[in-house]
């Protein structure tokens, strides 16, 4: 009976030993990469807003129309602003210097009259003074002539000052009225949504009769044939990423195909809500047809080797130890890693046989 039990245990041990998973290192290419997901955007894509409140009264374009910078997209009605502009135009016309040239000419005429009076009173004063020196006339007459001369001089200088004040006032009023008209015209332009770039109107978000305000997105606009890949990566990986790294992109719209891209921009602030950083990449060769907001998955390639000594992850434990088939524990130095295998830089050869972790 004892012999039967011993034989059974030996058979069981032999069976377990034969079921131990073993492997040998292989020489294969490997790439270490970081996973990212995101959305394709048209280059310079933006949501268009206005700074005013009103009602859409006309839409000039449709979804998909091509635009140039400055092309009107839609207009917003606001009667109050229209009246304000008309009032500003009336005020500008009324205050225009050319319209007030008569007032300046009248002031100039007053200066000329005052000057003539100064000349006349000066001659009378000098004549009376000469007579007085010849003991002709009275001192009262001399003083009256002198007083008249002084008064006419004062009137003359006052007319010059009045002219300059009038000119300055008219210039100020004209300039102010023109500035108010310019402001009013600028405000009127705020009621017309125009494209800021050459591109395509990908979406009109509001239509005739709808009320809109400064917080309302009215249209989505972007460049026509240039696209960027906007993606997010975890904060744990951001320090490994730099501009120029290659990216392998998979699109749901192109099943079974991969496209090459390259990192072009790293946004230097973390999104606190999801602990990610935003990146941008551009295609090396674009797919034949793209649209904004298409989703994608990508691998950002940190490094790659065409030939490396590799073992499966499951044969490595504590990130640096492997077990040989004879039970010996070996400390190894690792290199690149992908989701299946890890590179062994030192500690093993391709002839070494390993048993799976925990066996």
**Side-chain half-sphere CA neighbours of 16 within 13 A:** 6
Band (227; pLDDT cuts 50, 70, 90): very high
User: To which residue do tokens 């000066």 refer?
Assistant: 122
**What sections of 19-133 are H helices per DSSP?**
79-95, 101-133
Is the pLDDT at 186 greater than 50, yes or no?
Answer: yes
Q: What's the confidence (pLDDT) of residue 14?
A: 46
Question: 294-321: per-residue pLDDT in tens?
Answer: 999 999 988 877 888 887 878 887 888 8
To which residue do tokens 């298409």 refer? 294
Q: Can you tell me the distance from the alpha carbon of 82 to that of 88, in angstroms, rounded to the nearest whole number?
A: 10
How confident is residue 7, by pLDDT bands cut at 50, 70 and 90? very low
Mean pLDDT of 92-120: 76
Tokens of residue 234, six digits: 């975890």
The pair of three-digit structure tokens given for residue 118, joined into one six-digit string? 């100064």
Residue 75: pLDDT above 60? yes
pLDDT given at position 253: 87
What value does the mean pLDDT of the chain take?
82
Minimum mean pLDDT range among 54-63, 139-148, 203-212: 139-148
pLDDT at position 278 is: 95
Of the chain, the percentage scoring pLDDT greater than 90 comes to 28
């Amino acid at each position: 009976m004892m012999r039967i039990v011993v034989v059974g245990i030996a058979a069981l041990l032999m069976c377990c030993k034969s079921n131990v998973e073993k492997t040998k290192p292989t020489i294969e290419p490997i790439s270490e990469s970081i996973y990212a997901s995101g959305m394709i955007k048209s280059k310079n894509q933006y949501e268009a807003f206005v700074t005013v409140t009103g009602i859409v009264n006309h839409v000039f374009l449709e979804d998909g129309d091509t635009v140039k910078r400055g092309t009107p997209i839609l207009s917003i009605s606001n009667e109050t602003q229209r009246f304000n502009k008309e009032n500003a135009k009336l005020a500008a016309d009324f205050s225009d210097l050319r319209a007030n040239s008569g007032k300046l000419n009248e002031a100039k005429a007053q200066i000329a009259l005052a000057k003539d009076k100064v000349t006349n009173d000066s001659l009378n004063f000098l004549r009376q003074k000469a007579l007085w020196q010849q003991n002709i006339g009275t001192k009262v007459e001399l003083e009256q002539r002198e007083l008249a001369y002084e008064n006419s001089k004062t009137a003359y200088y006052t007319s010059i000052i009045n002219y300059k004040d009038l000119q300055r006032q008219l210039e100020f009023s004209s300039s102010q009225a023109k500035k108010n008209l310019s402001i009013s015209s600028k405000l009127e332009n705020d009621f017309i949504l125009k494209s800021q770039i050459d591109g395509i109107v990908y979406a009109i978000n509001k239509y005739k009769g709808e009320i809109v305000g400064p917080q309302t997105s009215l249209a989505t606009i972007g460049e026509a044939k240039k696209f960027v890949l906007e993606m997010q990566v975890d904060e744990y990986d951001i320090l490994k990423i730099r501009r120029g790294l290659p990216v392998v992109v998979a699109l749901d719209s192109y099943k079974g195909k991969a496209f090459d891209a390259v990192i072009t921009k790293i946004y230097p602030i973390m999104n606190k809500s999801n602990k990610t950083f935003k990146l941008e990449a551009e295609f090396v060769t674009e797919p034949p047809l793209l649209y904004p907001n298409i989703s994608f998955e990508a691998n950002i390639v940190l490094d790659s080797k065409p030939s490396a000594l590799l073992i499966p992850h499951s044969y490595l434990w504590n990130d640096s130890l492997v077990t040989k088939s004879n039970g010996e524990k070996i400390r190894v130095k690792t290199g690149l890693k992908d989701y299946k295998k890890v590179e062994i830089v030192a500690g093993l050869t391709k002839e070494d046989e390993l048993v799976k972790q925990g066996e």
